[in-house]
Chains A and B, each alone.
Chain A
């Protein structure tokens, strides 16, 4: 088969599409156009919610720190959580700024490149969120229990219990990464999605796409 025959095959396909014209006009009038939303709207909402939660966390942690600034066993975990919350705010604002610049009426390479950059940032951020969960749950528990219920975890469970749990969290993190990398395509659903995030498969997939677009855009 020759390349030119592909062109004639394209003509055949065009004829078939003509026959398939299921009246776009009809589709258009039947659609609830006023409800047309950007395809990126769910991501926008997700990021907005993330920003509100992170801002709320910073405010609450600030109030907590004001109360316990002179008590290092409470101030330490709160500062740690505050740093994570601020980093999350910075990252989320960056993603929202990229999202604001997305206009599907612009050139395809530029838009796909920006969308893929956004995917890379999201994949990287989500991976860190999962990875930090294990070592950070103890500082979170210390602050939440003390701040809301006045329940001093140090006094009830003791410093050794806290140290052991933090250590378990730190040790378990590479174990979870190892498990995530081993989880193959026979698994599916939510667990596989989380494993893909943790193992960095989504990140490397997005980075590969970004390289692909860069190669396409660069001069031959």
Chain B
């Protein structure tokens, strides 16, 4: 293994959760999710020579993972529309490993995320991930003010949408 591979592998291992999260957010089907993870990993490796070590690796990784995932999901969605219409209950959430989890909440989360456009989904994911507004702005390429306003609006929207479910 070359030095470059070793360096890449170390960074990938310490940030691999990003790949998993992004893939789980844009692909509901387990097999497609695996493909997407591989695709993201390949594109990260391919773009690695252009990575500037002075900048946060996570920011760079988010950018690539999200760009690949959004393009991948659009293609997969188009194919799925041709092959078979996706049913409402077709979300394939990663299964719980052991103890029973509050599946209702996770399902609600998936429903909410799925209803959002791909960019808002990315925004909310990074917010849930407790990324700073600055990093979110840098990943998406919008201003911090815009991030703050959008998050506030998304919260309002989701609160409104979640309210009837509680009744």
Chain A residues with a Cβ under 8 A of chain B: 1-3, 5-10, 12-22, 24-25, 27-29, 31, 33, 36-39, 103-112, 115, 185, 188-189, 192-193, 209, 212-213, 216-217, 219-220
| Structural contact, B38 and A31, CB atoms closer than 8 A | yes
A1, A31, A104, A219: the one contacting B67 at CB < 8 Å is A104
The docked-state distance in angstroms from the alpha carbon of A189 to that of B43 is 29
| Structural contact, A212 and B117, CB atoms closer than 8 A | yes
Q: Which residues of B contact A189 (CB under 8 A)?
A: 82
| Structural contact, B102 and A24, CB atoms closer than 8 A | no
Q: Which residues of A contact B166 (CB under 8 A)?
A: 1-2
The docked-state distance in angstroms from the alpha carbon of A126 to that of B156 is 41
Q: Which residues of A contact B67 (CB under 8 A)?
A: 104, 106, 108, 111-112
The docked-state distance in angstroms from the alpha carbon of A1 to that of B142 is 30
Measured CB to CB, the closest approach of chain B to A179, in angstroms, equals 19
| Structural contact, A13 and B94, CB atoms closer than 8 A | yes
Complex A-B: 7 CB contacts under 8 Å:
A28-B41, A33-B5, A39-B72, A103-B50, A104-B64, A108-B66, A188-B83
Asked if A6 meets B108 with Cβ closer than 8 Å, knowing A105-B47, A108-B67, A108-B70, the reply is yes
Measured CB to CB, the closest approach of chain A to B39, in angstroms, equals 7
Measured CB to CB, the closest approach of chain B to A77, in angstroms, equals 37
A-B pairs with beta carbons under 8 A, tally: 177
Closest to B23 in A: A17
| Structural contact, B43 and A39, CB atoms closer than 8 A | yes
Measured CB to CB, the closest approach of chain B to A11, in angstroms, equals 9
Q: Which residues of B contact A25 (CB under 8 A)?
A: 9, 12-13, 16
Within 8 A of A (CB), among B134-158: 138-143, 145-146, 149-150, 153, 155, 158
Q: Which residues of A contact B34 (CB under 8 A)?
A: 22
The docked-state distance in angstroms from the alpha carbon of A15 to that of B39 is 23
Q: Which residues of A contact B138 (CB under 8 A)?
A: 107
The docked-state distance in angstroms from the alpha carbon of A217 to that of B162 is 26
| Structural contact, A16 and B101, CB atoms closer than 8 A | yes
The docked-state distance in angstroms from the alpha carbon of A21 to that of B18 is 11
Within 8 A of A (CB), among B4-22: 5, 8-9, 12-13, 16-17, 19-21
Q: Which residues of B contact A105 (CB under 8 A)?
A: 47, 50-51, 60, 63-64
5 tightest Cβ-Cβ pairs between the two chains A and B: A107-B141, A19-B97, A9-B105, A220-B149, A9-B109
Measured CB to CB, the closest approach of chain A to B9, in angstroms, equals 6
The docked-state distance in angstroms from the alpha carbon of A217 to that of B120 is 11
B104-118 interface code vs A (CB 8 A; 1 in, 0 out): 111011001000011
Q: Which residues of A contact B141 (CB under 8 A)?
A: 106-110, 217
| Structural contact, B146 and A24, CB atoms closer than 8 A | no
| Structural contact, B139 and A6, CB atoms closer than 8 A | no
Measured CB to CB, the closest approach of chain A to B49, in angstroms, equals 10
